[in-house]
Amino acid sequence: MKTYMLLSCKVGAFNKVLDELVKMGLSKKDVFLLFGPVDILVQFRDLKNLPDFISRWFNPIRVMTPQEPMIDKTQTLIVISEGKSFAEEPFAFLFLNTQPRNLEVVQEKLQAIPQVLTAETVFGPYDVICAVRASSKEELKLLISKIQDEVPHIQGTVTAIVASLY
């Protein structure tokens, strides 16, 4: 089982949140600082089940440093269908919406695009999360246009650019 957590931090708190996540034993390969609608994306792989995720990760993260709350909001994306594994750090994550009946075709079409590192269908506020490679903002813009033109049934796209962790 795989999930993602999207974290929106209090102003100026993202570095402390990143440090706390690493102290909890999360790999830096699974934690992404973002420029976009949320501040941090964390991916959790190889979970036994949903209760395992809730007890090991969700509950500890949501109450991180209760004396001074650092997280304003969390969103959880539970992966329905995993995409390709990737080791390369993505340039950006795309959060896509589509009709439920179109999840498989959107995922399949996305994964056929070479710059798409992975595309995973999820339960949550979005329907598909997609990690992409690009070498510049201009290349990312062209890739997003290509996706919107070539992948049918996409109703909305939200983009978050990955920043260096430290």
Distance CA 119, CA 42 (A): 16
Q: What is the mean pLDDT of residues 41-56?
A: 96
Report the SS3 class of residue 108.
Answer: helix
Q: Which domains does the chain have, with CATH numbers?
A: 3-78 (3.30.70.920), 80-163 (3.30.70.920)
Q: What is the mean pLDDT of residues 107-117?
A: 97
Tell me which H or E stretch contains 147.
helix 137-150
Distance CA 23, CA 37 (A): 25
Distance CA 114, CA 10 (A): 36
Average pLDDT over the chain reads 95
Q: What is the mean pLDDT of residues 132-155?
A: 96
